[in-house]
C-alpha cells in the first residue's frame, strides 16, 4: 500500500470506530432524534476492531512518510521535497481529528 491508501484506510477505520458514539450526538445536534437512534449503537461490539485498524494504518502511514526513504528516480514527484512536505501536512491534518474521533467515546458521557 502506498501512503495515500493507508491514510485513506486509517480515516475510514477511524470513522467506523467512532460511528457508534459520534453519529448520535451529531444527529441530536441537528435536531434529529427518535427511538431508532438506539440502533446506531449496534456497531459498539466491533469498535475495538476499527480502533485497531485505524491505529495500524496511521502507524503504516507514519512509517512510510518518516522512517523509510522513498525509492524514486530524480524528477519524479515522490522525490521532490515539496510533495513530501505536503503529504506530511495532510497526514497530520488527518491524524489529529482522527485521534479525536477515536478518543470521543471516552468523553461522550459528558455531552449526553
Number of domains within the chain? 1
CB distance 88 to 62 below 8 Å: no
pLDDT grade for 94, boundaries at 50, 70 and 90: confident
Cell of 37: 437512534
Domain carrying residue 73: 3-110
Residue with the larger pLDDT of the pair 95 and 32: 95
pLDDT grade for 3, boundaries at 50, 70 and 90: low
pLDDT grade for 19, boundaries at 50, 70 and 90: low
Cell 441537528 found at: 30
Average pLDDT over residues 67-78: 78
CB burial of residue 18 (10 Å; 0-12, 13-18, 19+): buried
Amino acid at each position: 500500500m502506498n501512503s495515500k491508501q493507508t491514510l485513506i484506510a486509517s480515516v475510514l477505520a477511524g470513522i467506523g470506530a467512532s460511528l457508534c458514539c459520534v453519529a448520535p450526538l451529531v444527529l441530536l445536534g441537528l435536531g434529529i432524534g427518535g427511538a431508532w437512534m438506539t440502533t446506531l449503537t449496534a456497531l459498539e461490539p466491533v469498535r475495538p476492531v476499527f480502533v485497531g485498524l485505524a491505529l495500524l494504518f496511521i502507524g503504516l502511514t507514519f512509517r512510510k512518510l518518516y522512517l523509510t526513504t522513498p525509492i524514486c528516480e530524480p524528477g519524479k514527484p515522490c522525490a521532490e521535497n515539496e510533495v513530501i512536505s505536503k503529504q506530511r501536512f495532510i497526514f497530520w491534518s488527518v491524524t489529529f481529528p482522527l485521534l479525536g474521533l477515536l478518543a470521543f467515546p471516552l468523553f461522550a458521557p459528558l455531552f449526553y
